Amino acid sequence: MSESPYLSDRYRETSRTTLHAIVTALSGALATNRQVVSLAVMTLAAGGHLLLEDVPGIGKTTLARALARTISAQVSRIQFTSDMLPSDITGVTVFDQGAREFTFFRGPVFAEIVLADEINRANPKAQAALLEAMEERRVTVDGTTYELPRPFIVIATQNPVEMEGTYPLPEAQLDRFMTRTSLGYPTPQAEARMLISPSGRDPVGALKPVCTAGDMRAIIQTAAHIHVSQTVAAYAVSLLSATRNSPQYRLGASPRAGLALLAMSRVRALMQGQDSVFPGDVRAMAIPVLSHRLVLADSAYGSTASERDQALDSLLARVPAPRGA
């Protein structure tokens, strides 16, 4: 039986070079922290979805459009509102009187990169409409199932919960997002460059494609084949168990969180030029993968993203890493 090509050094090196080229291209075009850009690219390569928690007007839509441009993919934007219907996301079946048959009109979820803007302004029905698409990569309308394109990533934005008209996302919805991060405000230097650039200039317009959607599918498969030893897997389980057994949390990390943690660790190892995952990769990915999935026992503590990250970092620091792994 022939060995999978995704295990070859050539595939790993090509994937690593391409991922770094995408990050460099995006960092050069956007006034966004390179670490945030790198996390978005890694989430795409891990086959997951990204949640951005931030205030309006800092470039979340531009990030999604730029990411789509670099991989020659289609991007769509869904603006969530309180009166949105599930069919506004998935699409609708309409009877064509001329052809005397039903025709399905695809919704905006049928794109490689979907920006779900202000997802926590939508009602629970509309939020739930994304669940099957995010988890199964397909949608079912009127009893018929339609496959979504590959790669497929939902980049959802969430306003701070204290803003008017927002609804907290339920734990089941949050668990579908592989990673969470915040764009934050640009540095003074980057913001100054943005302000003095010609009015109306589209920062995405100058971006050139780095690869194709087919190339990204190959990268996703290559990352999925990065080796994980039993020792490293046991270390990941120890991190998950720490959240489940801590009195600090009412709800710990789920098994899905463990799969996401290893998927992101594989991509990090790939970008580091490694052929296997080390404990440092797992530890580095723990906060962006786990923080948003956990429910604190005391709701008054750790209410902000920064405080939640600090609480989790303190807990995980007490879990010893294996030696020699």
Q: Give the pLDDT confidence of 127-163 residue by residue, as tens digits.
A: 888 877 888 898 888 888 899 999 999 998 887 655 5
Q: What is the pTM of this model?
A: 0.89
Report the Cα–Cα distance between both ends of the chain, in Å, rounded. Answer: 29
Q: Is 156 exposed, middle or buried (0-12, 13-18, 19+ CB in 10 A)?
A: buried
pLDDT(217) > 90: yes
Instruction: Give yes or no for a contact between 282 and 239, defined as CB atoms under 8 angstroms apart.
Output: yes
- Dump pLDDT digits (tens) for 91-125: 988 888 877 788 889 999 999 999 988 888 888 88
Q: Is residue 6 helix, strand or coil?
A: helix
Q: In whole angstroms, what is the distance from residue 159 CA to residue 52 CA? A: 9
Q: Is 320 exposed, middle or buried (0-12, 13-18, 19+ CB in 10 A)?
A: exposed
Task: Identify which of 76-85, 171-180, 235-244 has the greatest average pLDDT.
Answer: 235-244
Topology adopted by domain 227-325: Helicase, Ruva Protein; domain 3 (1.10.8)
Instruction: Give yes or no for a contact between 120 and 170, defined as CB atoms under 8 angstroms apart.
Output: no
* Enclosing H/E stretch for 292: none
- Dump pLDDT digits (tens) for 181-206: 887 666 676 667 666 666 556 667 77
Strands (E), the chain: 50-53, 75-79, 91-96, 101-106, 113-117, 138-141, 144-147, 153-158, 179-181, 249-251, 295-296
The DSSP symbol for 58 reads S
pLDDT score recorded for residue 301: 47
Angle in degrees, CA 105, 106, 107, rounded to 5: 120
